[in-house]
Structure 1
Amino acid sequence: MNESREFIPINIAVLTVSDTRSEADDTSGRVLADGLLAAGHMLADKKIVRDDIYQIRAAVSQWIADPGVNAVITTGGTGVTGRDGTPEAVLPLLDKVLDGFGEVFRMLSYQDIKSSTMQSRALAGVANATYIFCVPGSSGACRTAWEALIKDQLDYRTRPCNLVQLMPRLLEK
């Protein structure tokens, strides 16, 4: 962290993917929203959609098309059951995949849940200058993803590099 740089707040949307959650019991979405607000960012929007590829894709596409949204974090739908469709919904939307995100997330998650982490299909990428992070639906996984990976990469003060400093160049051809 380089305190000589000024913090740059960005607008982040949170999408909970679940067939059973409501705003009242969306603990994972709340972990992410509380984390980004505590870090000084703005909550651009927050939604809950069913674990349906087209509902997920519609919500994420809306935010990708909105120049006022800089990042999207989804929670849920990254497992291996027939209803888990977040990666299938999001991957076709991405211009670039950040392979390291899923790799490092699973490495960190291994410390807590051991070999069960191989069931996680966490991923990240960029689409139309919008960063997208897809993390598992447990509040513990959301906390790990935010605290250990996303928070620092969305902080302009992080050295040697961070995703915020790249934002002006994301649409270069």
Structure 2
Amino acid sequence: MSRIDESREFIPVRIAVLTVSDSRSLAEDRSGDTLVARIEAAGHLLAARHILPDDRAQIAAQLRAWVADPEVDVVISTGGTGLTGRDVSVEAHRDVYEKEIDAFGTVFTIVSMQKIGTSAVQSRACGGVAGGTYLFALPGSPGACRDAWDEILVKQLDYRHKPCNFVEIFPRLEEHKRRK
């Protein structure tokens, strides 16, 4: 099973948080606050934080800007992963991904099933990689953000996590671009 290898040094990751909402301001952003608190408590760095409306083009543009920013290693968005007409975060993320992390959505569903039962089928949480940056789209509830962070991301974004983690493969995410 997974464990922390105390012989390895912790490596802080620079994480940007994007809240997708037509109605929330920063003062009312409980899901974003949940993520920021957990990111900082884990020892990572908050690289940026924004709120955008449920607009596919705007979301994708912000994701691309952060992918291009060398000061951002990971992007986590919250909101817009449901089934309604305004829920377009997943589509925006997939517009940007070079590779999708299919198992992220599967593992998130398993975690969610333990908390909310079959209502977990209504979430389309997803993860991917673009330009050497990890991107994750989470549902807009604080509970879903807690679950994704506490059960998946805190472990995978910790270099000490064994048997493997996202941080240790950062240097290899763009190895295909190196000259041979």
- Using the size of structure 2 for normalisation, the TM-score is 0.95
- Using the size of structure 1 for normalisation, the TM-score is 0.99
- Secondary structure of 1:131's match? strand
2:104 paired residue number: 101
2:77 paired residue number: 74
Q: Which amino acid in structure 1 is aligned with residue 169 of structure 2?
A: L
Q: Which amino acid in structure 1 is aligned with residue 118 of structure 2?
A: S
Does the 8 Å contact 2:60/2:95 carry over to 1? no
Q: For 1:106-157, what per-residue CA distance to the aligned partner results, in whole angstroms no more than 9, with x for missing partners?
A: 1110111111110100000110000001100000000000000011100000
Are 1:164 and 2:135 counterparts? no
- C-alpha distance in 2 between matches for 1:112 and 1:155: 24
Q: Structure 1 unaligned runs (5+)?
A: none
- C-alpha distance in 2 between matches for 1:34 and 1:12: 12
Calculate the aligned-residue CA RMSD, in Å.
0.6
Does the 8 Å contact 2:15/2:48 carry over to 1? yes
- Secondary structure of 1:149's match? helix
1:46 paired residue number: 49
- C-alpha distance in 2 between matches for 1:22 and 1:148: 27
**What pairs up with 1:1-173 in 2 under 5 angstroms?**
1-173=4-176
How many percent of aligned residue pairs carry the same amino acid?
54
Q: Which amino acid in structure 2 is aligned with residue 167 of structure 1?
A: F
Aligned residues: 173
CA deviation after TM superposition for structure 1 residue 58, in Å = 1.3
Q: Which amino acid in structure 2 is aligned with residue 54 of structure 1?
A: A
- Secondary structure of 2:81's match? coil
Q: Structure 2 unaligned runs (5+)?
A: none
